[in-house]
Amino acid sequence: MQKIRNIAVIAHVDHGKTTLVDGLLEQSGTFGTHEQHDERAMDSNALEKERGITILSKNTAIRYKDHKINIIDTPGHADFGGEVERVLKMVDGVLVLVDAYEGVMPQTKFVVKKMLALGKKPIVVINKIDKPSAEPERVVDEMFDLFSDMDATDDQLDFPIIYAAARDGIAKLDMEEPDGNFECVFETIVNEIPEPEGSAENDFQAQVFTLDYDNYVGKIGISRIFNGTVNKGDQVALAKADGEIVKGRITKLIGFHGLNRMEIDQAEAGDIVAFAGMETVDVGDTVCDANNPVALDPMHIEEPTLTVVYAVNDSPLAGQEGKHVTSNKLKDRLEAEMRTNVAMKLEVIGEGKFKVSGRGELQITVLAENMRREGYEFSISRPEVIVKEIEGVKCEPFEHLVIDVPEDLSGTVIERLGKRKAEMKSMVPMGSGFQRIEFEIPARALIGFRGQFLTDTKGEGVMNHSFLEFRPYSGGVESRSYGALISMENGEALAYSLFNLQDRGVLFITPQTKVYEGMIVGEHARNNDLVVNAIKGKAQSNVRSSGADEAIKLVPPRDMSLERALEWIEDDELLEVTPENIRIRKKFLTEAERRRESRKTK
């Protein structure tokens, strides 16, 4: 029996999980002296590298003395909570990372609640102790209070504490000690995390928690072996969530070491391995003994709270920039996403229209961004919250919102949130002229708030939120307070017409941008929509005028990224997403159609 420890690294977004895993890989000697590796080596996806966040949970393995330590790096953003939930079932203990200045944040509470409920053994790592404003002792007290509030057991409350600056490879068990390396982290994992339960003598049972795909061997299921042993070439049974049993053979067995995967011939209880050969495998399925198939408990993932409609692009510029533009292609791609992403749901609601439900705007925009990079062209509607009926009462999701703002700007933010039905719960000074304010707020009130918040706090504010619970519906919420500038013509925008339009509001386009009737070219300075001509050129004449040689000076347009545009749009607007452009448009392109529709709704 191998000496194995299985741990997950959990924390709020940007508290240093991936950097800590880097340090563990580095100091365990997993990387050879000749091996080149990037910073945040575990963030392998292109979007993860660009944004500096972890989106998908990923596993690695290191050797420490005679132990094998399987480590799973998880996302910190609340929208990817589904990734964290399924991973926690696969491990026997967790490293809970907390920033030595920021302390307990919404996602820290979310992941700690899940971890305690599953009875996992925690090791608390107070990270970033090298920050000038770090207060590690305050953060330790916050963590103890959090564990107490969430009914941790006595064993869980007696958690070991490690103080670290993961970026510099420093860790120690006491703040008074001189800086040391990660030796104390490895020792604490080996001594405090329990050995995996289950026996190699029992019938084989493993559960799949992540999927991968390889062009040569097909679908790969990454799973934790709970009982028994498995060999390459074994006949096994796949127990699906609906009770169906599918027979198959393991054609490839893959083990992990550092960033490498290597083929192995055998694995046993307690280990985390990948296998190929079962094309119908899904997350949560049990791979078990073919002669005695016994399924493990299925995974419970919390329900989505937000929904958008993906549809075939039907604008005048449709099909000119994308490679995959038909409803069949769109459906196949969304179905493929649902197979690997258990926190999202898909529903076909009409010809070429698909309702996609997820945890939040970031999760939905990450999917949209990946699809546009793959050559897909489609439209997205404004996000809506999922409203449920619980015991005859109409209920909506509420979020726990934590904001850090400069003290002199907190009044403006509180006033804005008050109009959005937010209820203030606490206000604590954080030092350095900042205040931390906590609110409970309807999830739909946060749609479109981030851009306004950044403007109000001059870019210095930080906001984080996580799902709280479903509560009775709270009535109407203030939305966007400005109208749109809508193009009335098809053609290319000209500098002359944009120069005359910029007094009317903020533009989203530059000269030579292709526009069409019904496309939104900017934000109106007032609260009503305004139809404008963005393609009108200057009339030529033989008469020389005094203003003929005046230079046209254009204010730089507002850069509308996918997230920003999705937050900005209203119910009667759509986002047109292509590999080359993101355009905002009205659902009904002509003025006559919009008038007819507004009469219907009145």
C-alpha span between 557 and 309 (Å, rounded): 28
C-alpha span between 69 and 92 (Å, rounded): 11
C-alpha span between 498 and 541 (Å, rounded): 21
What ranges in 347-466 are assigned the alpha helix state H? 361-373, 410-419, 449-456
**Paired sense of beta strands 93-99 and 3-11, if any:** parallel
DSSP state of 180: B
Angle between helices 449-456 and 410-419 (to 10 degrees): 160
Residues paired with residue 523 on neighbouring β-strands, in sequence order: 484, 506
Task: Please work out, in degrees rounded to the nearest 5, the angle formed at the alpha carbon of residue 192 by the alpha carbons of 189 and 194.
Answer: 95
314 among annotated binding-site residues? no
153 among annotated binding-site residues? no
Q: From residue 491, how far is each of 299, 499, 563 by CA, in Å?
A: 53, 17, 27
Widest CA span in the chain? 98
229 among annotated binding-site residues? no
With beta carbons less than 8 A apart as the criterion, state whether 536 and 501 touch: no
C-alpha span between 253 and 231 (Å, rounded): 8
C-alpha span between 213 and 276 (Å, rounded): 9
C-alpha span between 519 and 582 (Å, rounded): 11
210 among annotated binding-site residues? no
155 among annotated binding-site residues? no
* Among candidate residues 578, 579, 598, 582, the one with its CA nearest the CA of residue 590: 598
DSSP string, 375-405: TB-EEEEPPEEPPEEETTEEEEEEEEEEEEE
Place of tokens 């006559």: 592
600 among annotated binding-site residues? no
C-alpha span between 16 and 126 (Å, rounded): 10
C-alpha span between 69 and 67 (Å, rounded): 6
128 among annotated binding-site residues? yes
DSSP string, 257-295: ETTEEEE-SEEETT-EEEEES-TT--TTPEEEESSS--P
DSSP string, 11-31: ESTTSSHHHHHHHHHHHTT-S
With beta carbons less than 8 A apart as the criterion, state whether 312 and 330 touch: yes
DSSP state of 250: -
Q: How far apart are the first and last CA of the chain?
A: 72
DSSP state of 324: B
559 among annotated binding-site residues? no
Angle between helices 81-88 and 106-117 (to 10 degrees): 30
DSSP state of 322: -
HSE at residue 505, side-chain half, CA atoms within 13 A, is 22
C-alpha span between 48 and 76 (Å, rounded): 12
227 among annotated binding-site residues? no
14 among annotated binding-site residues? yes
Numbered residues of the known binding site: 14-19, 127-130
Numbered residues of the known binding site for GTP: 14-19, 127-130
